[in-house]
Amino acid sequence: MIISKLWPVAFIVLVPLIVLLYVLKQKGKDITVSSTYLWREAIKNTEATTPWEKFKNNILMYLQILTVLFLIAALMAPVLKKGGGDYKEAVIVIDDSASMGYIYKDEVTRLDEAKKRARSYVDSLNDNCEITLLKTTGGGQVVLSNAIDKRSVKQAIDDIKQTALTGDADEAAAIVKSLASNWSRYGVTIFTDTPVTLNDLTADVINLYSEGKNYAVEYVNYGIKENGKLTVLAKIDNFASDDTTIEVNLYGDGQILDIKSISVPANSSQVVYFEDIDFRGELIEAEVNNKDYLADDNKSGCIVTENSGKRVLLVTAGNTFLEKALNSVGRLDVFKTTDLSVIGKNESYDLYIFDSVVPDEFDLPGSVLYINPEGAEGLGVEGSIENSLITFSKSELSNYLEKAEVGVNHSLIFKRPAWAMGYLNNGDDCCGYYGEDGKRRIVTLGFDIHSSDVALKPEFPMLIYNIVNYTLEAGLTDNCQIMTGEKIKLYSRSDSNMSVKKPDGKVSEIDKGLVSKVYTDTDMKGVYTVSQETEDGTNESLVYASFPVKEESDVAAGESVKGGEAGNDVTPSGGKELRNLFILLLLFTVVLEWAVYIYQS
Amino acid sequence: MELFTTDFFQKVNTLKLAMLMRLSAGTSGARKSTAKGTSVEFSDFREYMLGDDIRRIDWNAYGRFDKLYIKEFMEEKEGLYNIFIDTSKSMDFGEKKKSEMALKIAGALSYLVLGNLDRVYVNELKEDAIRIGKGLSGRNAWGKIAKALGEITFDGKTTLSSSILRRNIKVRGASIIISDFFDREGIEGALKYLAYKKQQIVLVQVFSREEINVDYEGALNLIDSEDGSNVKLTMNRQAVKEYEDTLEKHVSYMKGLARKYQASYVQAVSDESIEKVLFDSMIGAGLILRK
C-alpha cells in the first residue's frame, strides 16, 4: 500500500474532538416529573455492563469516528500495490503501425483494443505517477512526456491514429530503456502485435496479435504498348491458410476498368494481368474484393507517368560513345550540333549536353550536363588532376556503379556548390557533382570521355542512363512511387510555395525558403498531390504511397509478457486505487449513522 | 373543584362492597361474623356444655332426641375499612392529577363502606407518618368523610411502609392503599404487617397519563417533584423503551406482591373516569359488586 498524500492525517484531531463531544453531553432541558424512581431504574438498565452494550450505546460516536477515518483515508488517496505496479514513472508504448489495423475482435482493431487497455491502465496508476507515452512508428516517437494529468494522457492515447507505416516496438523499447536508466520505480507497458526484443528492459508486453484471413495487393505496375494501351499487373497475396479465389477490381482514376478472379494458394502470391487497358489518366489501382481482417492492404496503385519522348540537345565536336549511350536510354529525341550560337534560337529542349564546350551565357529552361567544362565560369572549377583513378560515391547517379573505377588522363576538380552533391571523387577532390540550383538540374562530369577509359567500361551506359533519368525528371518530385513512411523529395519549379495534399485531403504548405524540401508526412497510403504555381499555371505531380504489405500484412505472432513471464493475455495494472472504495465506505457509514440516529430517536 | 357530584353518587349507589372474610371482632354491625351471637340468623347446633346459657337450649330438639342441644346464632359485626392515601407530591402530578383520582377512589370506597353500615378510617400517609382519620360509619358520616378528603394536601415525600406500620390495627378488616407506589423503600413491609393483622388488602396504583405514555425528546434533565433530585438523559427510542420496560416490570412486581399477600391489585390512570375505575377495574377484581 502506498499513500499518495499525508496532509489529510491532520484531520485525525477530529477524532478526540468527537469523543470529547460525547463525553461532554449536551445540557438537558429541565422537566419536572412525579418521581425519578422509574427513570433511575431505566437508566440503570441502559448503563452498559458488557463490552457489546458499551459499543451499542455509543454506536453513533463510533460511526462518526469511522466516518472521519474514511474521509482521511479517501483524502490520502492510497494505492494498493498490485504485482509491483505502483510506479513513480510509467511508460506506455502503443504500436501504431499498419498491422495494428487488423481486426482484433468484433470489428475492433488491434489498435482500438490497445488504446482501450492503455486507458484502463492509466486509470489504474496512482495520481502522482508521471506517464510517458510513445508510439512505435518513425523509430519510436515520444507523444507525451512525464505527464501527471491522466485526462490529457488518455486524450493523447485517443489521438493516436492508425498509420499505414511499418514499425515494431523494438526501437521504442530501446528509447524506453535509455529513458528508464535514471528511474528507480517505473513500469513499462508495451501494446503491440509483434514480438518485442526487450534487451534487459523490464517491461510488460501486451501482445494483441489475432488470427484471421488476410488478402493484399502487394503492388501494381504497368507497361505501355505500341498502341498506347496499358498492360497492368498486380501482385496478389493470400496470407490465409487455405487456397482462395480472389476477385480483383482494376480502377483507373477511380472508375472501374476491369474485374478478374484469380486462385491464390494458401500463404502464397499470384500476379494477375489486365491486358489492353485503354486508359489515358494518371492513377491506376487494383483492389481485392474478398472480405478479410485487414482492410488497409486490400488496395494498391501506381501513377502513370508522361509517355511522350524528351528532347535532348547534344553540343559536341563529336562523341560517338555518348551518342550511342544516349540511344540506349530510349524514347529520347536527340539533336546534335556543334554551334553554340543556335541554342535558344528556335526550339527548347529538356536537356542540354555540353561536351567539352561551354556557352558564354545560359538561361534557358531545361537541365544541363556539362562534360569537361574546361574554362567555365560559375561551375566551381578550381583545378585539375592528371593520370588518376576516379571513384563513384553513393548517390542517385551512381546506382549500380558504386564499385566502378575510371582511369583518367586529365580531370577537372570542382568546388562543389552548396546545392549540389558529389558523385565522382578522387580522394577528397570532387570530379563531378549534380544538383538543382533553383532553376534547373545541373550535372557536371570533370573529364573528357575520350581521355578516360570510362567509355570502355560496361557501366558507362548505366552512368549515362542515370544522368539522363535524373536530368529529365523535371517534375515536382523525384519519384512517383513510394512506400508509406518514405520521404518525398520536392523540386521547386518557380518562386511560389509548394503544397502537398495527403490522401485524406489535408494540405501542407511547403515554405519556398526551405533549403531541403522534403515531405515526410507519408503515414497514409494513397495518392499525394504535390502542387506549385508556375507562370504556365499550376504544376502538379502525383506520388502513390503503397501499403507496406511485406512488412505489415502478415506479422509474426508474439507472446504477452507480464512480470517477466510469458502469457497469452495479460491485463496491465499499475495498482488499485482505493480512494473510491473509501468514499463508498464513507457514504455507507453516513447513511448507517443516519439510520441508527433515526432508529434511536 | 367538585370531587363528588350527583352523578358520582348515582353511580356509586348501584354498587356494594364485597368483604370476603368473616369478622370476629369489632362492634355489632350489619356484617356476618364468625362469632356466635345474638342475632336472629341461625348458625348451628351443638351439645349443651356446662356454663351455657340455658335460655339457648333448643327444647324441640331435646324432645326429639332426648339430648340437650344448644342452638347457635350468627353474631353480626361491622366491617372495618382502613383507606390509606399516599399524599406525597408525586401524587400531585399530571395534566389530570393523580391526587384527584386517588381522592375519588377513596371517596367512592368510603361511600360504599358507609352504605354497608361498616366503619371506615381514611388515613393520610405523609413523610413516614400517618394521620389517622376518625372511624366513621353510617351514611350520615359521609359529609365528614367528604370534608376530610377535601382537606388533604399532596406534598413532600412519603415512605409508605413506615407510615402504614404506624397504624395500629386491632381487628380484622380491609386495608386499601391508594398510591403510585413510587417508593424506593418498597411496600412489602407494610403488606407483611397488614397480612399479619389479617387484613384483606387492596392495592390501588394510580398513574398519570404522562407516566404511561412518555412523550419527551432530546436531552433532558428530569427533576423529581418530591425531593428535587435529577436524572440527566437523552430521550431517544432506546431510553423510552427502557422506561416502558421498567414500568412494566414495576407493575409486574406490584402484582407479584399482591399475589404473595393475597391482596387485590387495581390500576387506575388519572385521566380515566371514576366509572371506568369502579366498573371495570374494581368489579373486575371482585372488590365491589353490583347490587
Contact list in A for residue B90 (CB cut-off 8 A) is: 34-35
Here the cell at position B202 is 387492596
Using an 8 Å CB-CB cutoff, list residues of chain B that contact chain A: 89-91, 93-94, 98, 180, 182-184, 208, 210-211, 216-226, 229-234, 236-239, 242-243, 245-247, 249-250
Residue A231, Cβ neighbours under 10 Å: how many? 14
Same domain, B131 and B37: no
Residue indicated by cell numbers 496478389? A236
pLDDT at A368 exceeding the cut of 80: yes
Q: Does A601 touch chain B (CB under 8 A)?
A: yes
CB within 8 Å: B246 and A30? no
Residue A564 is predicted with a pLDDT of 59
pLDDT at A542 exceeding the cut of 90: no
Q: Does A45 touch chain B (CB under 8 A)?
A: yes
SS3 A34: coil
Q: Kindly state the helix (H) or strand (E) to which residue A283 belongs, with its residue range.
A: strand A283-288
Residue A385 pLDDT level (bands cut at 50, 70, 90) = very high
pLDDT at A129 exceeding the cut of 70: yes
Last residue of a domain, one of B56, B77, B98: B77
Task: State the pairing for strand pair A429-436/B129-131.
Answer: unpaired
Count: domains in chain B: 2
pLDDT at B62 exceeding the cut of 60: yes
Q: Does A36 touch chain B (CB under 8 A)?
A: yes
Here the cell at position B278 is 369502579
Residues A81 and A1 sit within 8 Å (Cβ to Cβ): yes
Q: In the predicted model, what is the mean pLDDT of residues A402-417?
A: 89
Nearest CA in chain A to B247: A38
Residue from the list A25, A33, A600 with its beta carbon closest to the beta carbon of B232: A25
In a domain, B288, yes or no: no
Regarding predicted confidence, which is higher, A320 or A511?
A: A320
In a domain, B228, yes or no: yes
Residue B22 is predicted with a pLDDT of 44
**Of the given ranges (A72-86, A322-336, A514-528, B174-188), which has the lowest mean pLDDT?**
A72-86
The C-alpha atoms of residue A297 and residue A553 are separated, in whole angstroms, by: 7
Residue B73 is predicted with a pLDDT of 66
CB within 8 Å: A31 and B184? no
Q: Write the single-letter amino acid at B43.
A: S
Q: In the predicted model, what is the mean pLDDT of residues B257-266?
A: 91
Q: Which of A85, A278, A103 is nearest to A189 (CA)?
A: A85
Contact list in B for residue A54 (CB cut-off 8 A) is: none
Classify residue A33 as left (phi > 0), alpha (psi -120 to 50) or beta. beta
Same domain, B134 and B165: yes
Domain of B83?
6-22+78-283
Residue B207 is predicted with a pLDDT of 94
Task: Name the minimum distance, in Å, from the CA of A204 to any CA of chain B.
Answer: 59
In a domain, B45, yes or no: yes
Please count the helices (runs of H) and the strands (runs of E) in chain B. Answer: 10, 13
Q: Which of A496, A411, A393, A476 is nearest to A447 (CA)?
A: A411
Residue from the list B211, B230, B233 with its beta carbon closest to the beta carbon of A34: B211
CB within 8 Å: A34 and B230? no
Residue from the list B234, B236, B243 with its beta carbon closest to the beta carbon of A42: B243
**Of the given ranges (A303-317, B116-130, B207-221), which has the lowest mean pLDDT?**
A303-317
The C-alpha atoms of residue B126 and residue B160 are separated, in whole angstroms, by: 8
pLDDT at A566 exceeding the cut of 70: no
Q: Please state, rounded to an integer, the average pLDDT across all residues of chain A.
A: 84
pLDDT at A467 exceeding the cut of 70: yes
Residues A460 and A325 sit within 8 Å (Cβ to Cβ): yes
The C-alpha atoms of residue A163 and residue A99 are separated, in whole angstroms, by: 9
How many Cα atoms are found within 13 Å in the side-chain-facing hemisphere of A322? 25
Here the cell at position A247 is 476477385
Same domain, B37 and B122: no
pLDDT at A413 exceeding the cut of 90: yes
Residue A84 is predicted with a pLDDT of 43
Q: Which of A197, A210, A188 is nearest to A121 (CA)?
A: A188
Residue B183 is predicted with a pLDDT of 85
Task: Name the minimum distance, in Å, from the CA of A54 to any CA of chain B.
Answer: 14
> Model's pTM, two decimal places?
0.48
Same domain, B247 and B234: yes
pLDDT at B195 exceeding the cut of 60: yes
Here the cell at position A585 is 465506505
The C-alpha atoms of residue B265 and residue B200 are separated, in whole angstroms, by: 12
Q: In the predicted model, what is the mean pLDDT of residues A332-348?
A: 78
SS3 B36: strand
E strand map for B168-263 = 173-179, 199-207, 218-224, 230-235
Residue from the list A32, A36, A600 with its beta carbon closest to the beta carbon of B237: A600
Same domain, B169 and B64: no
Regarding predicted confidence, which is higher, A432 or B55?
A: A432
For residue A50, the Cα-to-chain-centroid distance in whole angstroms is: 73
Q: Kindly state the helix (H) or strand (E) to which residue B39 belongs, with its residue range.
A: strand B28-47
Residue from the list A26, A33, A39 with its beta carbon closest to the beta carbon of B219: A26
Q: Does A28 touch chain B (CB under 8 A)?
A: yes
Sign of the CA dihedral A487, A491, A494, A495? positive
Residue A494 is predicted with a pLDDT of 64
Q: In the predicted model, what is the mean pLDDT of residues B14-28?
A: 55
Q: Which of B71, B74, B65 is nearest to B46 (CA)?
A: B71
Q: Does A23 touch chain B (CB under 8 A)?
A: no
CB within 8 Å: B223 and A36? yes
Sign of the CA dihedral B176, B181, B183, B188? positive
In a domain, B112, yes or no: yes
Q: Does A39 touch chain B (CB under 8 A)?
A: yes
Task: Name the minimum distance, in Å, from the CA of A123 to any CA of chain B.
Answer: 46
Same domain, B91 and B194: yes
The C-alpha atoms of residue B237 and residue B219 are separated, in whole angstroms, by: 12
SS3 A522: coil
Complex ipTM more than 0.90, yes or no: no
Same domain, B149 and B273: yes
Preferred mutation among B221, B222, B245, B270 to probe A, highest tally of A CBs within 10 A: B222
For residue B261, the Cα-to-chain-centroid distance in whole angstroms is: 14
Residue A114 pLDDT level (bands cut at 50, 70, 90) = very high
Last residue of a domain, one of B62, B77, B92: B77
Taking the CA atoms of residue B259, residue B154, residue B91 and residue B170 in that order, the dihedral angle to the nearest 10 degrees is 0
SS3 A393: coil
Residue B194 is predicted with a pLDDT of 92
In a domain, B118, yes or no: yes
Here the cell at position A538 is 499550376
In a domain, B143, yes or no: yes
**CB neighbour class for A8 (10 Å; exposed up to 12, middle 13-18, buried from 19):** middle
Same domain, B127 and B68: no
Percent of chain A with pLDDT over 70: 88
Residues A364 and A343 sit within 8 Å (Cβ to Cβ): yes
pLDDT at B253 exceeding the cut of 90: yes
CB within 8 Å: A33 and B222? yes
Nearest CA in chain B to A31: B222
Same domain, B154 and B272: yes
Residues B85 and B64 sit within 8 Å (Cβ to Cβ): no
Same domain, B37 and B154: no
Which residue blocks in A100-197 are alpha helix, DSSP H? 110-124, 150-159, 169-180
Same domain, B165 and B235: yes
Contact list in A for residue B222 (CB cut-off 8 A) is: 31-33, 36, 39
Nearest CA in chain B to A44: B242
Residue from the list B223, B231, B237 with its beta carbon closest to the beta carbon of A599: B237
SS (H, E, C) A532-581: EEECCEEEEEEEEEECCHHHHCCCCCCCEEECCEEECCCCCCCCEECHHH
CB within 8 Å: A36 and B243? no
Here the cell at position B54 is 340455658
CB within 8 Å: B182 and A601? no
Contact list in A for residue B98 (CB cut-off 8 A) is: 34
Residue A514 pLDDT level (bands cut at 50, 70, 90) = low
What do you get for the CA distance between the two ends of chain A, in Å?
40
In a domain, B108, yes or no: yes
Q: Does A599 touch chain B (CB under 8 A)?
A: yes
Residue B31 is predicted with a pLDDT of 55
The C-alpha atoms of residue A284 and residue A280 are separated, in whole angstroms, by: 10
Residues A172 and A135 sit within 8 Å (Cβ to Cβ): yes
How many residues appear in chain A? 601
Contacts of B267 (CB under 8 A, 6+ apart): B204, B205, B206, B207, B251, B281
Residue B37 is predicted with a pLDDT of 55
Q: What is the pLDDT of residues A208-263, one digit of tens each?
A: 888 888 999 988 887 777 677 888 888 899 998 889 899 999 999 989 999 999 99
Which domains occur in chain A, in start order? Answer: 2-77+580-600 (no CATH), 89-209+557-576 (3.40.50.410), 215-303 (2.60.40.10), 310-472 (3.40.50.880), 481-544 (2.60.40)
CB within 8 Å: A29 and B246? no
Nearest CA in chain A to B219: A28
Taking the CA atoms of residue A145, residue A150, residue A154 and residue A156 in that order, the dihedral angle to the nearest 10 degrees is -30
The C-alpha atoms of residue A381 and residue A374 are separated, in whole angstroms, by: 8
The C-alpha atoms of residue A573 and residue B128 are separated, in whole angstroms, by: 83
In a domain, B191, yes or no: yes
Residue B23 pLDDT level (bands cut at 50, 70, 90) = very low
SS3 A596: helix
CB within 8 Å: A31 and B223? yes
The CATH number covering residue B265 comes to 3.40.50.410
Angle in degrees, CA B158, B162, B164, rounded to 5: 90
Task: State the pairing for strand pair A420-426/A103-105.
Answer: unpaired
Last residue of a domain, one of B58, B77, B96: B77
Residue A495 pLDDT level (bands cut at 50, 70, 90) = low
Preferred mutation among A21, A37, A46 to probe B, highest tally of B CBs within 10 A: A37
Q: In the predicted model, what is the mean pLDDT of residues A504-525?
A: 80
Same domain, B92 and B198: yes
